Amino acid sequence: MIYSKIIGTGSCLPDKIVTNHDLEKMMDTSDQWIRERTGIRERRVVEDNETTGTLAEQACLRAIESAGVDPAEIDLFVMGTTTPDLVFPSTACLLQKKLGLPDCGAMDINAACSGFMYALSVADKFVRTGDAKKVLVCGAETLSKITNWNKRDTAVLFADGAGALVLEASEEPGILSTHIHANGDYVDLLTTNAGVSVGWEAVSENDGKPEIQMRGNEVFKVAVRTLGRIVEETLGANDLQKSDLDWLIPHQANLRIITAMAKKLEMDMDHVVVTVDRHGNTSAASVPLALDEAVRDGRIKRGDLLLLEAFGGGFTWGSALIRY
Ligand code: ACO
């Protein structure tokens, strides 16, 4: 049996920090409201010369370096992003040569906040079937570019960043299983108001850019319910119990959703990787950013059992159970 094993991780955040107090000066909100409802204290936002691609490039270089592999050996590159640099070529293709990758397959996957879980799932399948031996997987976003900075219901939540990892084929586990789902019935609860084929008429309201529109309270309820189900599905598929888990690495949308998941899993918050307080919601970047942080600071150790999960626009949701 072939498994894919994580052999390196990396991440990148923009230098610019926007605190809740900065937002208080821009809109009718308060540090207290944001902290109490979301757990967010500050977030990182790109400058004009930074893009999803520039963040992803750094995260990927760091992952490749920590894996200690020659980029020329990588035989597939999969990126989860909702905010690509261009309509095309894909961000993965834009980065391929900059990263020194060969003429391997390179693609972007759009599954909103679940983009990294989808990318990881695709990458794992290629390794398991023997079609790829070393795969670069990245989740990167500049959600600040599709956030209306005049609207307090979304502006306080979203942010920018990138995280990446390198998978290698191994006889030992590895990724034990991945699970991805979608349900298009909920499009209206979390969407953007403009696009390439629908047209750009709506963007005049937001300084020429499309914007995220979310019915947050309703999204919250479905997210908690759905993530609860996928956690059970993931453990059940591997015949494992909640108590077997060492770490929960959840999508960082809201500390209250994360706490609810920890409670469902009967996990102490000391075993949950939390970055939402400093990163905000970086969509497809949030899980690999959190993973890299906990690997680098030594919390996650070889042999630990990790549960990764995410939920986002679509709705989409996904998970992975990993023996690190
Ligand atoms: N500052 C102050 N007050 C605010 C703000 C703000 N930034 N935003 C909203 N409010 C007000 C509302 O107007 C409302 O006022 P009212 O009671 O007078 O009408 C009140 O606060 C409560 O609003 P709710 O929306 O009910 O607040 P809630 O507790 O649900 O928190 C939040 C909102 C943080 C958005 C939460 O619902 C949430 O996190 N939802 C899930 C988000 C998520 O997981 N998204 C999925 C991933 S994102 C992706 O895929 C791109």
Angle at 307 between CA 128 and CA 123, to 5 degrees: 25
In whole angstroms, give the CA distance from residue 215 to residue 182.
18
- Determine the atom of ligand 1 nearest the C-alpha atom of 82: 51
Kindly list the distances between the CA atom of residue 228 and the CA atoms of 41, 88, 113, 317, 318, in Å, as whole numbers in the listed order: 26, 36, 17, 11, 11
Instruction: Tell me if residue 193 is catalytic.
Output: no
**Ligand 1 mean position to 190 CA, how many Å?**
12
In whole angstroms, give the CA distance from residue 270 to residue 104.
40
In whole angstroms, give the CA distance from residue 221 to residue 216.
9
Candidates 144, 123, 142; CA nearest to 322 is 123
Amino acid type, 318: G
Structural contact between residues 174 and 320, judged by C-beta atoms closer than 8 angstroms: no
Domains 3-172 and 177-323 equal at CATH topology level: yes
In whole angstroms, give the CA distance from residue 308 to residue 165.
13
Instruction: Give the pLDDT score at 209.
Output: 84
Instruction: Give the pLDDT score at 205.
Output: 75
All residues at 6 or more sequence positions from 36 whose CB lies less than 8 Å from its CB, including other chains: none
Question: Where do the structural domains in the chain lie, given as residue ranges?
Answer: 3-172, 177-323
Instruction: Tell me if residue 138 is catalytic.
Output: no
- Determine the atom of ligand 1 nearest the C-alpha atom of 253: 44
Instruction: Give the pLDDT score at 203.
Output: 80
Compute mean pLDDT per 10 residues along the chain, 324 residues long, and list them: 97 98 97 98 98 98 98 98 97 97 98 98 98 98 95 97 98 97 96 90 80 96 96 97 98 97 96 98 98 98 98 98 98
**Ligand 1 mean position to 265 CA, how many Å?**
25
Amino acid type, 235: L
Structural contact between residues 19 and 42, judged by C-beta atoms closer than 8 angstroms: yes
Local structure of 314: helix, strand or coil: coil
In whole angstroms, give the CA distance from residue 201 to residue 206.
11
DSSP, res 198: T
What homologous superfamily does CATH list for 3-172?
A: Thiolase/Chalcone synthase (3.40.47.10)
Candidates 122, 134, 173, 128; CA nearest to 304 is 173
Distance of CA 239 to the CA centre of its chain: 26
**Ligand 1 mean position to 87 CA, how many Å?**
30
All residues at 6 or more sequence positions from 129 whose CB lies less than 8 Å from its CB, including other chains: none
In whole angstroms, give the CA distance from residue 114 to residue 168.
22
- What is the total residue count of the chain? 324
Local structure of 267: helix, strand or coil: coil
- Determine the atom of ligand 1 nearest the C-alpha atom of 219: 41
Q: Which helix (H) or strand (E) holds 36?
A: helix 31-38
Catalytic residue among 12, 60, 113, 138: 113
Structure tokens at 210: 């499309």
Q: Ligand 1 — pocket residues by CB below 6 A?
A: 29, 33-34, 37-38, 112-113, 152-153, 156, 190, 216-217, 219-220, 223, 253-254, 257, 281, 283, 311-313
Q: What CATH number belongs to 177-323?
A: 3.40.47.10
Instruction: Give the pLDDT score at 59.
Output: 99
Instruction: Tell me if residue 281 is catalytic.
Output: yes
